[in-house]
Amino acid sequence: MKSLLRFFSARASLVIAPSRRTLLVLAGAVLAVLVLGGAAWFWYAAEQSRARAAYADVMVRVAAAEGPQATAEARTAAARDLEAILARYPSAAAVPQMAYQLGNVRYGAGQYAAARAAYEVVLARGATGTLRTLAQVGRGYTWEAERDWAKAMDAYRAALATLGPKDFYYEALLVDLARTQELAGRKDEAVETYRRILKELPQARRGEDVRARLMRLGG
């Protein structure tokens, strides 16, 4: 046992403690990492603030471009401003909102493919809640405007998949789906969807219109 203790004591004496210079170098490296991390955080916060300010500034022009009296030039200028902000601040937290507004402006100008691309940016950036639903609905409207009924129905169904009868957009989406089914010549499917509205939403705001459509379809 004593021989073992002497052996380990001898081994321990061979361990070289780090020098003071080494400890200072390590401390400096840790400090540098902390400083760089702090600088990166402050830069990110400042960048987000600049993006929000730019977005708020352009929204004044966007609101005018979405009005009923808006000119084609106003819509083009608003879309150009939004695209410039998206290009300048691609990582901004407000990107989904900016992309949604861009989609609306493009849709108002009749540029349906460009509007759809903007709505898809909203979805790709992980938008949730109402904004996600609105982007999905926007995609449906662009397909409907291009008379691609099948893709429009797919978009409306995708939006409905995460909603229930108590959600605000549920009734409107079911009406959109039924209307598109009518336009596609899918009478039986449209009747089924209109009946679904009356069954799930007995106090539907558009109940009278839904009943009228059912009567016209013989349902």
Does residue 215 share a domain with residue 153?
yes
Mean pLDDT of 110-125: 96
Residues 156-190 have pLDDT tens digits of 999 999 999 999 899 999 999 999 999 999 999 99
Specify if 22 maps to a domain: no
Specify if 91 maps to a domain: yes
Does residue 70 share a domain with residue 113?
yes
CATH number at residue 177: 1.25.40.10
Distance CA 204, CA 201 (A): 5
Does residue 92 share a domain with residue 155?
no
Write down the pLDDT at residue 72. 81
Specify if 25 maps to a domain: no
Among candidate residues 104, 122, 123, 124, the one with its CA nearest the CA of residue 114 = 104
Write down the pLDDT at residue 76. 86
Write down the pLDDT at residue 71. 82
Distances (CA, A) of 124 to 15, 81, 169, 201: 55, 21, 21, 32
pTM assigned to the model: 0.72
Does residue 156 share a domain with residue 118?
no
What percentage of the chain exceeds 90 in pLDDT? 51
Which one of 79, 98, 127 terminates a domain? 127
Does residue 214 share a domain with residue 168?
yes
Specify if 28 maps to a domain: no
What percentage of the chain exceeds 70 in pLDDT? 68
Does residue 209 share a domain with residue 157?
yes
Specify if 123 maps to a domain: yes
- Residue 173 sits in which domain range? 147-219
Specify if 173 maps to a domain: yes
Among candidate residues 198, 176, 178, the one with its CA nearest the CA of residue 186 = 178
Does residue 157 share a domain with residue 98?
no
If pLDDT is split at 50, 70 and 90, which confidence band does 9 have? low
Which one of 62, 96, 127 terminates a domain? 127
Does residue 72 share a domain with residue 100?
yes
More reliable by pLDDT, 178 or 76: 178
Distances (CA, A) of 76 to 101, 127, 165: 13, 25, 38
Does residue 165 share a domain with residue 102?
no
CA angle 144, 149, 154 (to 5 degrees): 95
Distance CA 28, CA 90 (A): 34
Does residue 215 share a domain with residue 154?
yes
Specify if 36 maps to a domain: no
Residues 120-147 have pLDDT tens digits of 999 999 899 999 999 999 999 999 999 9
Write down the pLDDT at residue 138. 97
Which one of 99, 127, 155 terminates a domain? 127
Specify if 35 maps to a domain: no
Distances (CA, A) of 180 to 12, 24, 145, 148: 82, 71, 11, 9
Number of domains in the chain: 2
